[in-house]
Amino acid sequence: MAIAIYLRLSESDGDLGVDGKNESNSIENQRLLLHQYIEAQKWEEEILEYVDDGYTGTNFNRPAFKVMLEDAKAGRISTIIVKDLSRLGRDYITAGDYIEQIFPILKVRFIAINNGFDSDNHSNSNMSFDMAVSNLINTFYSRDLSKKIRSANKARWKKGINSSAQAPFGYKKDPREKGKYVVDAPAAKIVRRIFDLALEGRSTSQIAYVLNEDKVPVPSVYNRLHNIPVRAEFATAEHEMLWDINKVGVILKRYEYTGAMVMGKRTGVTIGRTSRKTQPLENCVVVENAHEAIVTKQEFEEANLVIKTRRKPDYKIGYDFALKSKLRCGNCRLMMRYEANTGTDIVNCEHGTKIGKHSSCFKGNYSMKRIEGIVLYSLNQMLDTMQWLGDKGEKVTRRKAESGKAKAHDISKEIASLKQEKIRQYTRFADDLITKEAYIKIKDDLTIRIEELQQKMKTQESEVMAQDKLREEAVEMTNLSGKYSGAKILTREMVETFIDCVYVYDPENVEIVFLFEDSIRELMEEVNDI
């Protein structure tokens, strides 16, 4: 297995070296320190490098960190080394969870050099007091930093400089002046049309119908067609990305179309977390005449009269059913709506119902009882397969792993023998029994052979690890299938354990995606290979 070095530099560290700011956190300095540490320990394992350059430490939603964690789960990493705890993260609770629970479960050693922390040298399961204090300081630092960034942003906003990553639909970022918008003519034409339809007295649903009838692209599709970067991937199938009352309402509610810059519309609920809440316009920073207007303020106010605000109910009914959060429409790929207040349990595609004739989704209702029956029948068949395959796969993978270990042992013995031969040949040379030229040739030949065998040993050990992992999955399959096999009722626990998603295309066409499909495929290949 390899040693992982994790390097992180946040955007707030982008001015390292300016006004005496500490440069020790730079990626290059972190890399140098970690490599020096590994060399001092005389470790010879492969070194894997994971770099998150420009990512905050207040949360763990970082690409390189996620890849490193997946590699650790796959058994590719034995040790993770960081410069100090703040490079791992500045959220002391989550960082503590990784150090105290997740890394030990994955059997990964964790080292924070400047903190003097090595998980292999700590006798108890809890972090030391010094580490806890260090973690807490990192969190306080992040909160203070977040407040400073927020204050700096507000100062920029009041000068009419926006800090948004993406311009509102209808505008694009000004290539000549940072923090400013210019009108994107084709998109602005769509925005203008939406306001014009509203000014004619059309409701949001009527406006959506007209736009879909004329095949006007929604913002996400427009952006893709014009190579404009988007901030998120959408679950909706592309052919079902259509206008609805929500999309029309978003356009009509954007005060930016009057030429005003509106910033601070969403604020974090907790420092370091991704949870955010929307602020009312009066709590935002609004700078009038910041860019060219698409509509006048009077037109904006009159158009907004078509948006009828419905009073939210004082209570909300939460429905619990076995397939909750697993049911999606097979056509649009969006979550289906469950209704239990009609006398019978039914589900339907809310997207298809709202869009109407422009959507290809099935518009009727599905019987939840029928869908659950189909899922239960398919699941029981899968459990029978898993039970047989788990038992068979456990035996096959154990036999292959034992065979692989035996081969690795033989290779190890041959390597040891060749190393002894190198010593013997050196002794012969030292005793003048062979010439220097002969000794060098023999030594080089032996070295090449040893390196070939060492590479062969690594391959063999990797195959053994893969078989061991498959055997563990086979045992888990046997245990789980035995626990639930022959079930008469579909339960939430069964769904969470075995089912990834259920796509409903029409009353007779249901696709079930099981969680163990990859493991089943890999085990089936091993079983068929014998």
More confident residue, 282 or 87: 87
Candidate from 88-97, 100-109, 468-477 with smallest mean pLDDT: 88-97
The residue from 118, 149, 180 where one domain ends is 149
Q: Are 516 and 498 in contact (CB under 8 A)?
A: yes
The per-residue pLDDT for 177 is 82
How far is the first Cα of the chain from the last one, in angstroms, to the nearest whole number?
28
Whether the Cβ atoms of residue 398 and residue 523 lie closer than 8 Å to each other: no
Cα–Cα distance measured from residue 188 to residue 6, given in angstroms and rounded to the nearest whole number: 45
**Domain end call among 306, 333, 355:** 306
Per-residue pLDDT tens for 349-363?
888 888 888 888 888
- 277, amino acid identity: K
In terms of average pLDDT, the best of 100-109, 258-267, 338-347, 442-451 is 442-451
Residue 342 included in any domain: no
pLDDT at 339 over 80: no
Closest Cα partner for 102 from 111, 110, 113? 110
359 is a domain residue: no
Across the chain, what does the average pLDDT equal?
82
Of 37, 43, 82, nearest in space to 62 by CA: 82
Q: Dihedral through CA 426, CA 427, CA 433, CA 438, nearest 10?
A: -10
**Same domain, residue pair 119 and 180:** no
| Residue 400 CB burial class (10 angstroms; 0-12, 13-18, ≥19) | buried
Tell me which residue of 372, 371, 354, 373 sits closest to 363, measured CA to CA.
354
Share of the chain above pLDDT 90, in %: 29
223 and 286 assigned to the same domain: yes
Residue 413 lies in a domain: yes
CB neighbours (10 Å) of residue 225? 10
Structure confidence at residue 4 (pLDDT)? 95
Q: Mean per-residue pLDDT for 486-492?
A: 90
pLDDT at 309: 53
Which pLDDT score is estimated for 411?
Answer: 94
pTM higher than 0.85 for the full model? no
Which of 306, 334, 355 terminates a domain? The answer is 306
| 116 and 192 both lie in a single domain | no
* Number of domains into which the chain is organized: 3
Q: Do residues 296 and 220 both lie within one domain?
A: yes
Non-local (6+) Cβ contacts of 42 within 8 A are none
**pLDDT, position 126:** 47
Identify the CATH number of the domain in which residue 441 sits: 1.10.287
**Does 325 map to a domain?**
no
pLDDT of amino acid 405: 92
Domain that holds residue 410: 369-528
Whole-number pLDDT of residue 225: 87
pLDDT at 216 over 70: yes
Lowest mean per-residue pLDDT among 174-183, 334-343, 350-359, 479-488: 334-343
Q: Which of 136-140, 359-363, 413-417 comes out lowest in average pLDDT? A: 136-140
Determine the residue type at 16: L
Structural domain includes residue 458: yes
257-316 confidence digits (pLDDT tens): 998 888 776 665 444 444 456 667 777 878 888 889 999 999 998 888 877 654 555 545
Q: Does position 138 have pLDDT exceeding 60, yes or no?
A: no
Percent residues over pLDDT 70 in the chain: 81
Query: Do 320 and 492 contact (CB within 8 A), yes or no?
Result: yes
Weakest-pLDDT range from 6-20, 136-150, 415-429 = 136-150
pLDDT-based confidence at residue 15 (cuts at 50, 70, 90):
very low
DSSP 460-494: HHHHHHHHHHHHHHHHHHHHHHHHHTT-SS--HHH
Do 374 and 487 lie in one domain? The reply is yes
- Look up the CATH number of the domain holding residue 94: 3.40.50.1390
How confident is the model at residue 64, as a pLDDT?
93
Residues 399 and 515 placed together within one structural domain of the fold: yes
Report the pLDDT value the prediction gives residue 114, as an integer from 0 to 100.
Answer: 84
Same domain (yes/no): 261, 400: no
Taking the C-alpha atoms of residue 455 and residue 415, their distance in angstroms, rounded to an integer, is 11
Residue 355 resides in a domain: no
pLDDT band at 507 (very low <50, low <70, confident <90, very high): confident
- pLDDT average, residue stretch 361-380: 89
Is pLDDT of 20 > 50?
no
- What the block records as the tokens of 499 is 């089912």
Joined tokens for residue 450: 């040893």
The enclosing domain of 218 has a CATH number of 3.90.1750
Q: How confident is the model at residue 90 (pLDDT cuts 50, 70, 90)?
A: confident
The band of 115, judged by pLDDT with boundaries at 50, 70 and 90, is: confident
| Adjacent-strand bridge partners of 328 | 335, 503
**What single letter denotes the amino acid at residue 130?**
D
Query: Are 133 and 224 in the same domain?
Result: no
Evaluate whether 118 touches 164 at the Cβ level (below 8 Å): no
Same domain, 384 and 509: yes
Contact (Cβ atoms closer than 8 angstroms) between residue 264 and residue 256: no
Q: What's the CA gap between 2 and 46, in Å, rounded?
A: 5
Mean pLDDT of all residues in 48-52: 93
Residue with tokens 């259509």, as numbered in its chain: 242
pLDDT at 435 (0 to 100): 92
Contact of 471 with 401, CB cutoff 8 Å: yes
Residue 406 has pLDDT above 90, yes or no: yes
Which of 101, 41, 94, 44 has its CA nearest to residue 65?
A: 94
Helix (H) or strand (E) holding 404: helix 368-430
What is the predicted pLDDT for the residue at 310?
A: 47
Other C-beta atoms closer than 10 Å to the C-beta of 449 total 14
156: DSSP letter: H
Q: Which of 288, 330, 304 shows the shortest CA–CA distance to 510?
A: 330
Q: What pLDDT is stored for residue 503 in this prediction?
A: 92
Q: Please, what's the largest Cα pairwise distance for the chain?
A: 106
Cα 8 to Cα 54: distance, rounded to the nearest angstrom: 7
Residues 135 and 179 grouped into a single domain: no
In a domain, 361, yes or no: no
Confidence category of residue 134, pLDDT binned at 50, 70, 90: low
Q: How does strand 346-348 pair with strand 366-367?
A: antiparallel
CB 60 within 8 A of CB 142: no
Q: 280 vs 255, 301, 420, CA distance in Å?
A: 12, 16, 78
Cα–Cα distance list, 43 to 35, 37, 78, 160, 204 (Å):
10, 9, 12, 55, 66
Q: In this structure, what token pair is assigned to residue 35?
A: 């490599």
Query: At what angle are helices 436-484 and 368-430 packed, to 10 degrees?
Result: 160
- Could you give the CA distance from residue 389 to residue 163 in angstroms, rounded to a whole number? 55
CA pair distance 366, 331, nearest whole angstrom: 14
pLDDT category of residue 129 using cuts at 50, 70 and 90: very low
Q: Indicate the pLDDT class of residue 18, thresholds 50, 70 and 90.
A: very low
Residue 348, domain member (yes or no)? no
Residue type, 500: D
User: CA-to-CA distance for 322 and 494, rounded, in angstroms?
Assistant: 8
User: Is there a single domain that holds both residue 421 and residue 453?
Assistant: yes
Q: Binning pLDDT at 50, 70 and 90, where does residue 124 land?
A: very low
**Cβ distance 384 to 486 under 8 Å?**
no
Q: Which of 76, 131, 128 has the alpha carbon at shortest distance from 107?
A: 76
Same domain, 193 and 87: no
